[in-house]
């Protein structure tokens, strides 16, 4: 299916939100899908994922979660992972100072951003994205979310915040607060790496909370797959796990979005 994509903005509670919109060729209507970024920002890989979902027949919107974040404008994405690794150090400031000057110049701004970033706009901006998609004449009114890493966590948080969505997919994201599980209104699917214990070992807590509250949650663990196994631009990419997760994701979204009883407009 031919698709088109463009950078655009929609209005959020804190102002304009930059986003990437990918849509199938034609006039629709199509189900809406919010594609939520990793920690690195709205990078080409996330735009590519939005186009892949547009090819499957979705109106795919990837918001820039850092649209209101002035500090992130000074961050080189190459410094984000080393900055995150500093959290494991007993004295992060000392470990940063010990880096070669060239490396430190890249990592220091990323570390400052990680320690000071304001995440309070993320869920309100995602809820605004839901409303924006639902209001479009080329959207059926069924809307879902999918996210990766940080975005996977946000996809779960969006569902747990009681957002009016039909489906939520989590790729190796931290679990939402379990006390918010009663707010979930949609089916949820999760994909986790067997070699990602920091995330995957928390999933049983979410499973238990979802089951206790009568919520629809299916979690898949891919043995031998690390964190970020779906990102084919990184060394963490695991082709077999990514392929199977893609198939399961599309089946799930087709059932809950394309099959949603919302009618066409």
3-18+120-258 maps to which CATH number?
3.40.50.1820
Cα separation, 252 vs 249, in Å, equals 5
pLDDT in tens, 199-257: 999 999 999 999 999 999 999 999 999 999 999 999 999 999 999 999 999 999 999 99
Domain ranges of the chain: 3-18+120-258, 71-116
**Residue 1 pLDDT level (bands cut at 50, 70, 90):** confident
pLDDT of residue 20: 98
pLDDT of residue 259: 82
pLDDT in tens, 35-92: 999 999 999 999 999 999 999 999 999 999 999 999 999 899 899 999 999 999 999 9
Provide the sign of the torsion angle of the four alpha carbons 77, 80, 81, 83, taken in this order: positive
pTM: 0.95
pLDDT of residue 262: 58
| Whether residue 263 has pLDDT greater than 70 | no
Q: In what order do the strands lie in the sheet with 3-12?
A: 3-12, 15-24, 59-63, 30-36, 139-148, 167-171, 187-193, 217-222
Q: Which of 152, 228, 223 is nearest to 194 (CA)?
A: 223
**Residue 264 pLDDT level (bands cut at 50, 70, 90):** very low
pLDDT of residue 261: 62
Cα separation, 145 vs 188, in Å, equals 10
Is 100 exposed, middle or buried (CB count within 10 Å of its CB: 0-12, 13-18, 19+)? Answer: exposed
pLDDT in tens, 163-188: 999 999 999 999 999 999 999 999 99
């Amino acid at each position: 299916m031919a698709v088109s994509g463009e950078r655009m903005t929609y209005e959020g509670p804190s102002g304009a939100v930059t986003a990437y919109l990918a849509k199938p060729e034609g006039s629709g209507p199509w189900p809406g899908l919010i594609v939520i970024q990793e920690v690195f920002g709205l990078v080409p890989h996330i735009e590519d994922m939005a186009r892949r979902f547009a090819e499957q027949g979705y109106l795919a919107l990837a918001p820039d979660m850092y649209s209101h974040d002035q500090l992130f404008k000074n961050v080189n994405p190459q410094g984000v992972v080393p900055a995150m690794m500093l959290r494991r150090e007993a004295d992060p400031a000392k470990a940063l100072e010990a880096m070669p000057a060239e490396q430190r110049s890249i990592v220091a701004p990323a570390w400052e951003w990680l320690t000071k970033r304001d995440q309070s706009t993320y869920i309100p901006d995602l809820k605004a994205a839901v409303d924006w998609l639902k209001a479009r004449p080329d959207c059926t009114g069924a809307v879902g979310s999918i996210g990766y890493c940080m975005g996977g966590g946000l996809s779960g948080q969006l569902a747990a915040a009681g957002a009016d969505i039909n489906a939520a997919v989590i790729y190796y994201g931290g679990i939402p607060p379990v006390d918010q599980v009663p707010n979930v209104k949609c089916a949820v699917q999760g994909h986790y790496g067997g070699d990602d214990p920091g995330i995957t070992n928390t999933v049983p807590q979410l499973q238990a909370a979802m089951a206790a509250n009568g919520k629809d949650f299916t979690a898949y663990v891919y043995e031998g797959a690390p964190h970020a196994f779906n990102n084919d631009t990184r060394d963490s990419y695991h082709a077999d796990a990514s392929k199977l997760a893609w198939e399961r994701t599309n089946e799930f979204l087709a059932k809950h979005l394309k099959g949603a009883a919302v009618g066409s407009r």
